[in-house]
Amino acid sequence: MKRREITVKSILTRTGIEGFDYCINPYIGCEHGCTYCYASFMKRFTGHHEPWGMFLDAKMNGPDLLEKQLKNKREGSVLVGTVTDPYQPAEEQYRITRGCMEALKDSPLEVNILTRSPLCLRDMDIFEGFGHIEVGVSVSTDREEMRALFEPSAPSIESRVMALKTLHAKGVRTYAFIGPILPLNPSALVELLVGAVDKALIDRLNYSHKVSALYRREGLTRFLHGDYYREAARMMRAGFEEAGVPVSVLFGCDDGVGGPVNRANPMGGYL
């Protein structure tokens, strides 16, 4: 893993992601290195040649810069972590995300943060003081062996569910981002999440070419079919709705399970 400390000219940037005005990415690269990660395109824009997951640039001046950039902002919404995980292992050392959250806490912006890591619990003290914040945790399967296969450097499913439960119990608004739908047991995953989240978002795997060889090698190609995504989404939607948890399916389905196909949907294809 190659870590670098850098300074940047901007940290709060406009985004085309539907439902958000701005995004913040405290790092370039991601130590979680998920096999299917859409964000690996960042290599092209940042001059990195290392494999995705093997480099990380920490935006050291991020919090100070954000404070300045927030001065003239009167309203809007920001998604933290569109092409990196804000609570990946390096954050324990650098605390850049924490600094950004401190700056955002006193701003008028609505904040939405998405991670795969229970390290977000460290910043509970900041979340509790926020006016508008939602903390999302990506949980793409209930099966730990699938997590280990597709997200080998990311935290366990159990630790992510624990993070959601802890946040929820403290009154922080939470959501589960079930995306991409990896091989999973829909009922078991719903059961894990009910009681820990205020809502759920579900998305299919949008960039399957990145992992199709891995699916083939592991004999999992049936989990790449549109029928699998539709049925898994239908079952999870029914389970969440029965439990009174609002749920959005972010990919289009002929049978009306989801909304229209939207590549710029919140987080779809990003995390």
Nearer to ligand SF4, 107 or 141 (CB): 141
Q: Is 182 in the site for ligand SF4 (CB under 6 A)?
A: no
CA 168 to chain centre: 17
Judged by CB under 6 A, the chain residues 69 through 88 that form the site for ligand SF4 are 84-85
Q: Is 116 in the site for ligand SF4 (CB under 6 A)?
A: yes
Least separation in angstroms between residue 115's CB and ligand SF4 is: 8
* Region of 165 on the Ramachandran plot (φ > 0 left; ψ -120 to 50 alpha; else beta): alpha
Name 149's Cβ contacts closer than 8 Å, sequence gap at least 6.
35, 214, 218
What's the Cα-to-Cα distance from 244 to each of 97, 138, 197, 199, rounded to whole Å? 32, 20, 11, 9
Q: Is 146 in the site for ligand SF4 (CB under 6 A)?
A: no
Least separation in angstroms between residue 31's CB and ligand SF4 is: 8
Is the CB of residue 96 less than 8 Å from the CB of residue 63? yes
Nearer to ligand SF4, 84 or 107 (CB): 84
Judged by CB under 6 A, the chain residues 14 through 43 that form the site for ligand SF4 are 30, 32-34, 37, 39
* SS3 assignment, position 55: strand
Least separation in angstroms between residue 19's CB and ligand SF4 is: 18
Judged by CB under 6 A, the chain residues 184 through 213 that form the site for ligand SF4 are none
* SS3 assignment, position 18: coil
- Tell me which residues touch ligand SF4 (CB under 6 A): 30, 32-34, 37, 39, 84-85, 116, 154, 271
